[in-house]
Amino acid sequence: MQPSRDIRRLLDIMSALREPETGCAWDRQQTYASIAPYTIEEAYEVVDAITRGDRGDLCDELGDLLFQVVFHSRIAEEEEAFDFGNVVEAISAKLIRRHPHVFGERKSASPEEIKAQWQKIKAEEKAARAAAKAVEPQETGGSGSPVESLLVDVPLALPGLTRAVKLQEKAGRVGFDWNDAALVLDKLREETLEIEAAIAGGSALEISGEIGDLLFTVANLARHLNVDPEAAIRSTNAKFEHRFGFIETALHKAGRTLAEAELTEMEALWQEAKAQEVKTKEPPEA
């Protein structure tokens, strides 16, 4: 079998891998659940290639992610639930439906209007799905059956900080939000004090809970300042790796190892790495 630009060739390859008699033993035994971690991993690798600006890797990683879609679709086809064609048709219909300003009457719309329209259409789709499944949320007003939460469709598998932002955004749409980043900063200070109290109390469970509250508040602050917290932490991770690598290199040149270095020496090298970063950011002299 030869590679091809035609998506049908990829579908044929996937089908061959899953063949009961002649396929790949590993591929045949996979399920939605068993390959779900790989699906998440491939999405992260796409983002990594974008962050690094490596277009060759991006092409490869997008292919890996596409393969995950094909894999899940093949398992569904074997179950006679749906196939890859249904997936393509569903997303095509959704995009047409959610862009009436492009595929409808073709009237112009501002980014703000488009976002509001998108949310309105999503809400209508959610209501239609609930009706089709004969799901009718019942308001009890007390401790009986819970109403369907506004937050129910925020995926559990999202990275923690990303999910925190999405939960906060949804709650914010109904007014449950601070209207000033300064108020979030006040909350951040409050959370650090609560961590100090938890540390003094010595309860590992309480400390964990307070750190979770702190991270949730940090995500909220990032949201109010229009910063993607996941992108921010990835940038800081890269900065940490670079500076730590500088320490390792400097010690290696001196014929020493990390284990032989004192913390004060490593801290001095860390500050040297920071100083070099500042120099590279300075504008050239006229």
Mean pLDDT confidence for 1-12:
91
| Least confident window among 76-85, 150-159, 188-197, 228-237 | 150-159
* Cα dihedral value 140, 144, 148, 152, nearest 10: 150
Tell me the torsion sign for CA atoms 251, 256, 258, 264. Answer: negative
Confidence band (pLDDT; 50, 70, 90) for 285? low
**225: pLDDT strictly greater than 90:** yes
For residue 140, the model assigns a pLDDT of 46
Q: What is the DSSP letter of 259?
A: G
For residue 127, the model assigns a pLDDT of 80
Higher pLDDT, 218 or 124: 218
**284: pLDDT strictly greater than 70:** no
Mean pLDDT confidence for 125-134:
76
Mean pLDDT confidence for 45-69:
94
Distance CA 228, CA 226 (A): 7
Cα–Cα distances (Å) from 126 to 34, 115, 156, 164, in that order, read: 28, 17, 18, 21
Distance CA 19, CA 24 (A): 8
Distance CA 277, CA 280 (A): 5
Each domain of the chain, given as residue ranges in start order, spans 7-96, 102-132, 160-227, 231-281
Looking at domain 160-227, which CATH architecture does it have?
Orthogonal Bundle (1.10)
Confidence band (pLDDT; 50, 70, 90) for 141? very low
Neighbours of 38 (CB within 10 A): 15
277: closest CA among 240, 231, 227? 240
Mean pLDDT confidence for 167-185:
92
- CA 13 to centroid of chain Cα atoms: 29
Higher pLDDT, 142 or 98: 98
Confidence band (pLDDT; 50, 70, 90) for 146? low
Q: Could you tell me which residues come within 8 angstroms of residue 118 by beta carbon, excluding any fewer than 6 positions away?
A: 98
**198: pLDDT strictly greater than 90:** yes
CATH fold group of domain 7-96: Helix Hairpins (1.10.287)
Residue owning tokens 């939460």? 149
| Least confident window among 59-63, 135-139, 260-264 | 135-139
Residue owning tokens 């595929």? 103
| Least confident window among 20-24, 60-64, 101-105 | 101-105
7-96 and 160-227 have identical folds = yes
Q: What is the DSSP letter of 109?
A: -
Distance CA 76, CA 58 (A): 27
**106: pLDDT strictly greater than 70:** no
